[in-house]
């Protein structure tokens, strides 16, 4: 994974698998840091699961016994002088359950990777889970990109899925336009 | 070629011998060299040697996923304690050498040529 967008996809898929209905994704590039946050209302994790999360030999998958999503993310964060913090409330503990992951990267560090195709990543997520309300924000040098699937659904009304090709094509253009505000 | 022949010819140290692995019997077939673990995950193939300078627990996880014949740590890199523990627990064979990744690649190449 030589682009940040691949890490983002990998981490957000954990929220999708946790049965989340709302997932907030934000990437804020400011000064020397890039801060990537994912907040979901999925089933959450128990304290024991949370403790083991950065261990590659822990995974909730049934198909294989190794999970490298969070370990790789933590490795990249720490290599660039940053960190990963995860807070989670399991559904057995509270009705207000979910997980919040905050990863900080030294964005000018020599070992940091390019951001990659974030528009493509967001499209992939919406296409795979059109019923989930994704809220996306990416603020960087000269752009501040926002997308709220809730707002889109309110405009489109019931019966039109966000996974319709026309809708996805519109979202792609909407995101790309915001990434190049001057219309380049 | 067997791991035993490789270890003797290149004077490798055996950092951990995978459970049930016998060096004179275990064959390797091909080599991958690289330190970017997510890339190694898709490029190290079954029964290959993987030469790297990375030494954390994730290395053992990738070795376990790819079923490589052995990991060779170059430049006298030592496994971190939690990585060594994972190697023992998961039966991953880890070898060590003072040579650089490049020197190891050349040495393995020459050895396999002589063997043909």
Q: What pLDDT, in 10s, does the model give residues A100-151?
A: 999 999 999 988 999 999 999 999 999 999 999 999 999 999 999 999 999 9
Residues 67-106 of B with CB under 8 A from A: 86, 89-90
| CATH code of the domain in which B74 resides | 3.40.1390.20
Answer yes or no: do B58 and A64 touch at CB < 8 A: no
pLDDT at A184 over 60: no
Decide if A75 is inside a domain. Answer: yes
Interface predicted TM-score (ipTM) = 0.71
CA distance A152 to chain B (A): 35
Indicate whether this model's pTM tops 0.80. Answer: yes
Q: Which residue range(s) make up the domain with A30?
A: 4-116+133-144
Report the number of distinct structural domains present in chain A: 1
Angle between helices B57-66 and B81-90 (to 10 degrees): 20
Q: At residue A38, what are phi and psi to the nearest 5 degrees?
A: -125, 125
Answer yes or no: do A72 and B57 touch at CB < 8 A: no
Structure tokens at A162: 């966000």
Locate the chain B residue with the closest alpha carbon to A7: B38
Residues of chain B with Cβ-Cβ distance to A6 below 8 Å are 38
Q: At residue A116, what are phi and psi to the nearest 5 degrees?
A: 80, -165
Give the Cβ contact number of residue B100 at 10 Å: 13
Decide if A12 is inside a domain. Answer: yes
Distance separating alpha carbons of residues B51 and B30, to the nearest angstrom: 11
Answer yes or no: do B64 and A2 touch at CB < 8 A: no
pLDDT value of residue A183: 53
Report the number of distinct structural domains present in chain B: 1
Decide if A127 is inside a domain. Answer: no
């Amino acid at each position: 994974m030589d682009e940040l967008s691949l890490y983002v996809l990998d981490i957000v898929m954990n929220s999708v698998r946790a049965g989340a209905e709302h997932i907030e994704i934000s990437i804020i590039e400011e000064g020397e840091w890039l801060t990537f946050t994912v907040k979901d209302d999925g089933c959450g994790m128990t304290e024991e699961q949370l403790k083991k999360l950065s261990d590659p030999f822990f995974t909730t998958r049934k198909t294989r016994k190794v999970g490298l999503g969070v370990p790789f993310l933590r490795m990249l964060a720490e290599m660039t002088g940053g960190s990963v913090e995860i807070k989670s409330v399991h559904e057995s503990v509270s009705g207000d359950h979910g997980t919040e992951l905050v990863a900080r990267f030294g964005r000018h560090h020599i070992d940091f990777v390019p951001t990659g195709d974030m528009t493509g990543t967001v499209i992939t997520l919406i296409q795979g889970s059109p019923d989930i309300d994704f809220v996306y924000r990416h603020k960087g040098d000269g752009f501040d990109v926002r997308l709220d699937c809730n707002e889109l659904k309110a405009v489109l009304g019931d019966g039109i899925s966000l996974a319709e090709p026309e809708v996805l094509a519109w979202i792609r253009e909407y995101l790309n336009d915001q990434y190049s505000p001057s219309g380049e | 070629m067997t791991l035993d022949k490789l270890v003797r010819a290149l004077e490798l140290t055996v950092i951990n011998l995978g459970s049930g692995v016998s060096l004179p019997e275990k064959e390797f077939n091909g080599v991958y060299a690289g330190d970017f673990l997510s890339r190694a995950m898709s490029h190290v193939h079954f029964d290959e040697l993987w030469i790297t300078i990375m030494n954390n627990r994730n290395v053992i996880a990738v070795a376990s996923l790819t079923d490589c014949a052995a990991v060779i740590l170059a430049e006298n890199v030592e496994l971190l304690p939690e990585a060594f523990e994972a190697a023992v627990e998961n039966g991953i064979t880890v070898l060590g050498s003072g040579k650089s990744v490049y020197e190891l690649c050349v040495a393995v190449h020459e050895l396999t040529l002589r063997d043909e």
